[in-house]
Amino acid sequence: MNEITLNNQTLGYIKLFESYTRTNVYECLENEEMVLFVVGERKLAEIFKKHEKIITDLKEKINKRIIMAEFSPDLLTFTRNLFYRYEVREIDLIWKENTTNIFISIAPENIGKAIGKDSRNIKLMRDGIARYFKIKNVIIKQR
């Protein structure tokens, strides 16, 4: 696992999220367009049950797109959780020389959204995965 440093802005996002949801954040990553919150296993249903407009409310406060995903100690499940909104069709894990490359097949109409402008979205997801697993790349398969 890599060393993690959080700036005041990220700490503020975590505090805001935890105050709205009463749920601990495992991870908070951001880029210019979005903030990714990773929560514990089986926590999303609980969050939405208590606060169904959580994404809208956080987006208004933070002024960025909000993505939430559940953590899993299983690489395949965690990857599927992160890319869920893009309609995952298939995930292949290729192990080579002590690192893993992840190849994801998603709905064709969502490929652009998953990659993002200047590859920002996929880099953010890759960084989220790399915090917990030894991976090299996350690649969107284009069929």
Q: Give the span between the Cα atoms of 143 and 131, in whole angstroms.
A: 29
Share of the chain above pLDDT 70, in %: 95
Q: Is the per-residue pLDDT at 3 higher than 60?
A: no
In this prediction, residues 108-135 reach a mean pLDDT of 93
Query: pLDDT at position 132, please?
Result: 92
Query: Rounded to whole angstroms, how far apart are CA atoms 36 and 67?
Result: 5
Give the model's pLDDT for residue 9.
87
Give the mean pLDDT of 124-136: 94
Helices 120-130, 75-83: inter-axial angle, 10-degree rounding = 150
Question: Mean pLDDT over residues 31-53, rounded?
Answer: 91
Q: Residue 51 pLDDT > 90, yes or no?
A: no
pTM to 2 decimals? 0.88
pLDDT number for residue 143: 65
Residue whose C-alpha is closest to residue 82's, from 140, 32, 136: 140
Of 43, 131, 140, which is closest to residue 90 (Cα–Cα)? 140
- Predicted confidence at residue 98, as pLDDT, reads 83
Q: Please state the rounded mean pLDDT for residues 99-121.
A: 93
76-141 CATH: 3.30.300.20
pLDDT of the residue at 101: 95
Q: So where are the chain's domains?
A: 8-70, 76-141
**The listed CATH number (3.30.70.100, 3.30.300.20, 3.90.1150.10, 3.40.1410.10) that belongs to domain 8-70:** 3.30.300.20
Q: Judge whether 107 and 83 are in contact, CB under 8 Å.
A: no
Same topology between domain 8-70 and domain 76-141: yes
Best CA proximity match to 40, nearest among 50, 27, 52: 27
Instruction: Evaluate if residue 33 carries a pLDDT over 70.
Output: yes
- Given a cut of 90, whether residue 7 has pLDDT beyond it is no
Could you give the CA distance from residue 30 to residue 52 in angstroms, rounded to a whole number? Answer: 22
Q: SS3 for 34-52, per residue?
A: EEEEEECCCCHHHHHHHCC
User: Exposure of 60 by Cβ count < 10 A (0-12 exposed, 13-18 middle, 19+ buried)?
Assistant: exposed
Q: Across the chain, where does the E strand assignment appear? A: 25-30, 34-39, 65-70, 88-96, 99-106, 135-141
